[in-house]
Amino acid sequence: MKAVIPAAGLGTRLLPMTKNMPKEMLPVVDKPAIQYVVEEAISSGINDIVIITGRGKEVIENHFDIAYELERILEERNDLEKLKEIKRIAELADIYYIRQKKALGLGHAIYVARKYVGNETFAVLLGDDIIFAKEPCIKQLLNIYKKFNTSIIAVQKVDKSLVSRYGIIDGEEIEKGIYKIKNLVEKPDIEEAPTNIAIMGRYIFTPTLFECIEKTPPGKNNEIQLTDALNILLKKEDIYAYEFEGKRYDIGDKFDWLRINIEIALQREEFREKMLKLMNELIR
Ligand code: G1P
């Protein structure tokens, strides 16, 4: 299966950090955010990846490419551990890049991958959503896909006050944590949200989605919304939502970005004691 990773967003919520730096390249402890997403696809058995980029996103390509000069310097210094890690990143997967020339929305960003994907079911992992789970989130969706053979969307329940940040689904729970979707709304106001079940940036789609995006007029924020295209898809095929196990962070949000750095640092042996000591001191 192929994976599409949209990473063309402007990152305006993170300004000024993202004035000249793609949000997907922001560090999470010691790796750029998008590397976690690429590694999730790979550890789920997906090695054929296309990243949708735009102007100013070239550093993403450089990150996953061979860095000859750096490799030579690390070799000269005999810094083999760093050399191994730098080489590993360049060998992770077959990664292709397609540019979305205009920021016309998430639906459109996925649409530009249609020729690369062809007539096959494919995975989508949003480049600014990081999910930590025992079993990678996209793997969990693939397991559900095997059972239903149709499009599957990752969801989690959120506090009712947060529904306007997400695509929200309405559906019937047919098994524990599995919903047959009836309707989807992109970023509704609290009063209009049918549920608090929010879409979380991991999807498995049948290729029928592409013809639905073609028919999708601009929606919320005047962008071609994936959620609107899914309502069109729903008229042709069933779509299921799966409440996955795992913790999700939105790198596009300043506080979430700070939070993930602290939480991940606390999980790393090399930082844990120092971090706890620092936090205790600060609280005191
Ligand atoms: C996008 C989708 C939204 C989804 C969210 C998850 O919104 O449009 O449906 O809930 O990702 O991160 P964005 O965060 O790109 O505005």
Q: Given the DSSP bridges, would you call strands 122-125 and 2-6 parallel, antiparallel or unpaired? A: parallel
Q: What is the pLDDT of residue 9?
A: 87
Site to probe by mutation for ligand 1, drawn from 126, 170, 203, 244 as the one with most ligand atoms within 8 Å of Cβ, is 126
Q: What is the pLDDT of residue 104?
A: 94
Q: How far apart are CA 105 and CA 150, in angstroms?
A: 24
3-state secondary structure at position 232: helix
Residue nearest to atom 2 of ligand 1 (CA): 167
pLDDT interval class at 267 (50, 70, 90):
very high
How far is the centre of ligand 1, averaged over its atoms, from the C-alpha of 200 (Å)? 7
pLDDT per residue as tens digits for the range 88-107: 999 999 899 999 999 999 99
Q: How far apart are CA 225 and CA 222, in angstroms?
A: 9
Q: Does residue 11 carry a pLDDT above 90?
A: no
Nearest to 61 by CA among 2, 107, 7: 7
pLDDT per residue as tens digits for the range 40-54: 999 999 999 999 999
Q: Does residue 21 carry a pLDDT above 90?
A: yes
Considering the chain, tell me which residue range(s) the CATH 3.90.550.10 domain(s) occupy.
2-252
**C-beta of residue 195 within 8 angstroms of C-beta of residue 170:** yes
Q: What is the pLDDT of residue 94?
A: 87
Q: What CATH number does the domain located at 2-252 have? A: 3.90.550.10
Residue nearest to atom 7 of ligand 1 (CA): 166
Q: Which two tokens stand for residue 4?
A: 């599409």
Q: What is the pLDDT of residue 19?
A: 93
What would the DSSP string read from start to end of 234-275? TTTS-EEEEE-SSEEEETTSHHHHHHHHHHHHHHSHHHHHHH
Which residues have C-beta atoms less than 6 Å from ligand 1? 106, 126, 129, 166-167, 186, 198-201, 226-227, 250, 252
pLDDT per residue as tens digits for the range 181-211: 999 999 999 999 999 999 999 999 999 999 9
Q: Does residue 144 carry a pLDDT above 90?
A: yes
How far is the centre of ligand 1, averaged over its atoms, from the C-alpha of 187 (Å)? 8
Q: What is the pLDDT of residue 110?
A: 98
Q: Does residue 281 carry a pLDDT above 90?
A: yes
Q: What is the pLDDT of residue 242?
A: 98
